[in-house]
Amino acid sequence: MKFASVLMLAGAGIILLLGVMHLIFTFRGPKLRPRDPALEAQMRNATLAITPHTDVWRAWIGFNASHSLGALLFGVVYADLALAHPAVLWGSPVLLVSGGALLAAMAWLARRYWFSVPFRGIVLALALYAGGVITALA
């Protein structure tokens, strides 16, 4: 396996791990619950302006779960490409640019809206991704 693929695999693995952890935290334990139980109760009783058919709490859970699934998909697809289809990965500017752009956007979101653990993990994944692309194209 080329070193570029190892770097890409490592970056994809970090995002995959973050996605798994986030999905677990979405459905298990208190990590993604408000510290104030009254706020969770308010979220369960408030509907969204877009529809009266769901409440803010259910939307919160759904957004977190779908966010996790996106990270899982990225991790699985780019890991598979690096391992089983490196010629497709390194030969596709669309895959290389869109993957890098997604990681850069996630890093920006993590810095602006989240907290240090996902930010550091995503920045590390982005650095590994960029290192893989630079190594493969050199």
Q: Where are the domains of the chain?
A: 3-25+59-137
Give the per-residue pLDDT at 135.
Answer: 97
- Whole-prediction pTM: 0.94
Give the per-residue pLDDT at 1.
Answer: 76
Concatenated DSSP letters for 61-97?
HHHHHHHHHHHHHHHHHHHHHHHH-HHHHHT-HHHHH
Give the per-residue pLDDT at 126.
Answer: 98
Intervals of the chain under pLDDT 70: none
Query: Which of 43, 37, 78 lies closest to 63 in space, CA to CA?
Result: 43
